[in-house]
Amino acid sequence: MGAFTADQVYLNYINGEWMGASSGKTVPSVNPANPKEVVGYVQASTKEDLDRAVAAAKSASRSWRKLSGAARGDLLYKAANLLEQRADEVAEAMTREMGKTFPEAKGETLRGVAILRYYAGEGMRPVGDVIPSSDSEALMFTTRAPLGVVGIISPWNFPVAIPIWKMAPALIYGNTVVLKPAQETAVTAAKVIECLAAAGLPAGVVNFVCGSGSVIGQGLAEHPDVNGISFTGSNQVGKQVGQAALARGAKYQLEMGGKNPVIVAADADLDLAVDGTISGGLRSTGQKCTATSRVIVLNEVYDAFKEKLVEKVANIQVGNGMDAGIWMGPCANEKQLETVLGYIQKGVDEGAKLLIGGSRPSSADLAEGFYVQPTVFDQVSPQMTIAREEIFGPVLALIRANSLEEAIALANDSEFGLSASVYTSNIGSILSFIQDMDAGLVRVNAETAGVELQAPFGGMKQSSSHSREQGQAAIEFFTSIKTVFVKA
Ligand SMILES: NC(=O)C1=CN([C@@H]2O[C@H](COP(=O)(O)OP(=O)(O)OC[C@H]3O[C@@H](n4cnc5c(N)ncnc54)[C@H](OP(=O)(O)O)[C@@H]3O)[C@@H](O)[C@H]2O)C=CC1
Ligand SMILES: O=C(O)CCC(=O)C(=O)O
């Protein structure tokens, strides 16, 4: 542990020990800003490694669930302090591994610290209700029981925050954990696990197994000793994970895609709306499930908004996220870059008008990295592919609306329902939007991205399995209610 060193080998963490995969193989994790740079080597684990981790978690579960919430919380506070001390190093690993800028990576790491502290405190908060019994001499109340072993499958776009917002509540409510991070960002995830290990969590309480999604991810979903699965990633894989868990009666929670709209009303503060659209749509190179993707603008302000938007997008500095002054880094990997370029081509082919961007940057310095220019399309119709499918890249689609009602109808015309925002100063418009928008997160005069750790997070429609993560809502997934009836 200690300073960040490239080319280091990162091990699995199973039953309190750092160990190599039984395959003896590792895979390189490379820098999307410069794919020739290896950030570290991570384990190519097998089913045997996974079985060992699940067995360790199962065995540790018996004593971990019996610890007091306060004792479990103490360990999470320690882990938070360790992560805070290593924030620069962890953020640098994140920037090098998946490309988001260093300030964003540092912000995410500190968000991870805050999440650990929030759930550490949760160990001391009340649980359950006293319910009047029909028997006046009895005491009836509810308490909560942990699920047991929880499998966590996390994506590459928030390599610190997402594993932590799943692990911290799992642990505080008395579960043990097996984490399978995205291979893409497993070095960063290993550093988070180092902090949990150094905090003194008992052996087996947290286990970390790197490997491919089809072997380790699917293996977790199908494992008979894994009682709950929490997943964030694509809809396609999420549904497979959910089906595998359902088939064997395990609990599951899926957070998946979005096609998040922002509505710019005629009375919007246009500068605020432009800034929110850019920040929500293009930060992290558009690789957030909450990223703004469809920009629905009322006729009256369409041209003025478009002009301001394009002017600001033109000034975005694209480059290596470790360099000062860079606002947008590369796509996280080559496949993602190809996907984004493919959607841009589809947009052009289907008749949308490219206003700015649309290709890889021309600068020779950026030729090797997985860069794409921030892109804005005009004249997008609601049936075009770029208005319907999740792109997960820095692409904004401008759509015209004649009224707020039409704008909300267009915003709802999607299979997804994760996040949505409106820019307006009219209270009636605000109330209509809050009431009529089908999304798990509705935001007024604020960008679509940027969830708060103390509030429930999750989507409607195809965006999630209808459960919620984070805040107090996490207890619903990570525990079962036990109703207790006591008579002397
Ligand atoms: N909602 C969100 O926040 C995210 C959405 N996405 C969406 O998904 C698209 C593709 O990204 P991608 O990285 O391929 O997303 P995936 O859904 O493939 O990856 C998410 C996680 O699932 C794992 N996984 C992959 N296959 C399986 C499987 N068969 N069973 C269990 N787990 C599995 C991955 O492992 P590994 O990567 O190691 O193979 C990773 O840990 C993006 O373009 C974007 O649209 C992607 C990431 C996050
Ligand atoms: O907007 C955020 O802060 C969270 C986004 C998120 O959860 C995701 O992209 O997976």
Distance CA 238, CA 230 (A): 10
Q: Which helix (H) or strand (E) holds 10?
A: strand 8-10
The C-alpha angle with vertex 356 and arms to 423 and 422, in degrees rounded to 5, equals 10
Strand partners, 13: 18, 208
For residue 5, name the pLDDT band (cuts at 50, 70, 90).
low
Average confidence (pLDDT) over 386-405: 98
Query: Which residues approach ligand 2 with their CB closer than 6 A?
Result: 157-158, 162, 232, 288-290, 449-451
Q: Give the residue numbers marked as catalytic.
A: 255
Shortest-distance Cα residue to atom 2 of ligand 2: 450
H/E stretch holding 92: helix 87-98
Which residue is it, tokens 């994760």? 418
Residue nearest to atom 3 of ligand 2 (CA): 450
Give dist(CA 485, CA 488) in Å, integer. 10
Strand (E) or helix (H) holding 229: strand 228-232
Domain boundaries defined on the chain: 9-256+464-487, 260-452
Q: Whose CA is nearest to atom 39 of ligand 1?
A: 213
For residue 452, the CA-to-ligand 2 centroid distance in Å is: 10
What spacing in Å lies between the alpha carbon of 451 and ligand 1's midpoint?
20
- Domain 260-452 top-level CATH class: alpha beta
CATH superfamily of 9-256+464-487: Aldehyde Dehydrogenase; Chain A, domain 1 (3.40.605.10)
In this model, does residue 455 exceed pLDDT 60? yes
Q: How close is the Cα of 449 to the center of ligand 2, in Å? A: 7
CA-closest candidate to residue 400, choices 381, 423, 420, 375: 381
Tokens of 58: 């199962």
CA of 228 to the centre of ligand 1 (A): 18
Q: Name the one residue in this structure whose structure tokens are 């996490």.
A: 474
How far apart, in whole angstroms, are the C-alpha atoms of residue 273 and residue 262? Answer: 9
DSSP, res 12 = E
Instruction: Quote the mean pLDDT of the chain.
Output: 97
What is the token pair recorded at 61?
């579960």
Q: Can you count the helices (H) and strands (E) in the chain?
A: 15, 21
| Eight-class DSSP state of 217 | I
Average pLDDT over residues 297-304: 98
Residues 100 and 329 sit within 8 Å (Cβ to Cβ): yes
Q: E strands of 116-226, at which residues?
A: 138-146, 149-153, 176-180, 206-208
Short-list 284, 252, 38, 70, CA closest to 161: 284
Distance CA 393, CA 395 (A): 6
Residue 240 parent element (H or E): helix 235-247
Return the best residue to mutate from 234, 293, 343, 469 for the ligand 1 pocket (most ligand atoms within 8 A of CB): 234
Give burial (CB, 10 Å; 0-12/13-18/19+) of 367. exposed
Percentage of residues in the chain with pLDDT exceeding 70? 99
pLDDT above 60: residue 272: yes
Q: Do domains 9-256+464-487 and 260-452 have the same CATH topology?
A: no
For residue 391, what pLDDT is reported?
A: 98
pLDDT 10s digits, 207-221: 999 999 999 999 999
209 near 53, Cβ under 8 Å? yes
- The residue nearest atom 30 of ligand 1, judged by CA position, is 218
Provide mean pLDDT across the span 10-23. 98
**Angle at the Cα of 337 (from 44 to 154), degrees rounded to 5?**
40
Buried b (16+ CB within 10 A) or exposed e, 107-122: bbbbbbbbbbbbbbeb
Kindly list the protein residues whose Cβ atom lies closer than 6 A to any atom of ligand 1. 153-157, 180, 182-184, 212-214, 217-218, 221, 232-234, 237, 240-241, 255-257, 289, 336, 339, 390, 392
Distances (CA, A) of 17 to 153, 193, 217, 436: 21, 11, 21, 51
Q: State the pLDDT at residue 1.
A: 41
Task: Give residue 4's pLDDT.
Answer: 47
Q: From the CA of 215, which ligand is nearest?
A: 1
Which ligand 1 atom is nearest residue 393's CA? 43
Q: Is the pLDDT of residue 7 over 90?
A: no
CA–centroid distance, 237 to ligand 1, in Å, is: 6
Q: What is the pLDDT of residue 3?
A: 42
- What confidence tens digit (pLDDT) does each residue in 305-346 have? 999 999 999 999 999 999 999 999 999 999 999 999 999 999
Helix axes 404-412, 427-436, angle to 10 degrees: 20
Express each pLDDT in 19-78 by its tens digit.
999 999 999 999 999 999 999 999 999 999 999 999 999 999 999 999 999 999 999 999
Dihedral sign computed on CA atoms, order 134, 137, 142, 146: negative
Q: What is the DSSP letter of 468?
A: -
Average pLDDT value for residue range 81-91: 98
**Count of CB atoms within 10 A of residue 363's CB?**
10
Ligand 1 atom at minimum distance from 288 CA: 3
pLDDT at 98 over 50: yes
pLDDT at 93 over 90: yes
Instruction: Give the contacts of 340 (CB within 8 A, at least 6 positions apart).
Output: 286, 331, 372, 391, 392, 393, 394, 395
What pLDDT score does 2 carry?
A: 40
**Which of these, 373, 404, 132, 395, lies nearest to 259 by C-alpha position?**
395
